[in-house]
Amino acid sequence: MSLSDKTVLVTGGTGSFGRAFANAALNIHGACRVIVLSRDELKQHEMRVAFGDDARLSFFIGDVRDAERLRRAFEARPDVVVHAAALKQVPACEYNPFEAIKTNVLGAQNVINAAIDTGVPKVIALSTDKAVNPINLYGATKLCAEKLFIQGNSYVGTRSTRFSCVRYGNVIGSRGSVVPVFLEQRAAGALSVTDERMTRFWLTLDQGVDFVIRSIERMKGGEVFIPRIPSMGLMDLAASIAPDCAVELTGIRPGEKLHECLMSADEGRHARAFDDFYVVLPEFHWWSDAEWDDGQPLPEGFSYTSDTNDAWLSHEDLQQLSPSPGK
């Protein structure tokens, strides 16, 4: 299914991903309507102004925690739902654990139920590398959300609704990314790095949006799609952004990993590799829709981690992906 002439609903649609996705869906992929569901009326107003009062863009005030309101929005009968709403800040989730559960886990359940009840054909949820072997609450809630979406296919019965997930790494320059922090610290002449050994996966917002759209087209239901993206060490990132600044090592923070993992070795046993992505297939005997005959099986024990990656960002690569860091 392409997005051409389709209606798409995006939860959390006023965030950086939602805005970029709406623009791509409407102006590149030919969607006839994008429905944004989010909690913040000011952000909705700002987005409406930025899009020039585009008649193809409509807004619902609502929260994924509110099952009744969510179902009302889904009665617009979208062809595709992209679930991007979440509490994403690791420290905030640690300090407000009940709230993280309500939004990231129970909110996911509400999206699944509303989609099944209203007959949405395709639903794809955004996840994160932190959902793999999680060590903080945010990652744990996203792992739960992934499990709900993948195993939620067991609830559809004879209906046509299908659920899949997309899992990717850090978005360069997004809110919560270290890049804006480094840019701000550069003016003071010193950058703070928690651990000099640290590595992370990186992609741009446009790459993330494009991968989600391609995953919607590919999905059969029950898959977790993972892009093949480059890594970069935090010290290399710091040197690219502020080569003349001192670096202060502050020590690793609670809930933080030295290296991120986008696919565990256990998942690798039932995954397939393609030129630009991996797909983790469901293991359950009762789910046969997601049969993939193409792609390559992965070697025994394979895991996809940021420190053992076969692709690395250079300073020049970073300049092309995000022109502002080196300036």
CA distance 272 to 155: 25
Q: What is the DSSP string of 10-47?
A: EETTTSHHHHHHHHHHHHTS--SEEEEEES-HHHHHHH
Q: Which amino acid is at 255?
A: G
For residue 240, what are its two tokens?
Answer: 């690219």
Query: Which region, left, alpha or beta, applies to residue 233 given φ > 0 means left and ψ of -120 to 50 means alpha?
Result: beta
Mapped onto helix, strand or coil, the DSSP state of residue 124 is strand
Catalytic: 130? yes
CA distance 189 to 135: 32
Out of 6, 88, 122, 130, which one is annotated catalytic?
130
HSE-CB of 195 using CA atoms within 13 angstroms: 12
Q: What is the largest CA-CA distance in the chain?
A: 62
Catalytic annotation, residues: 130
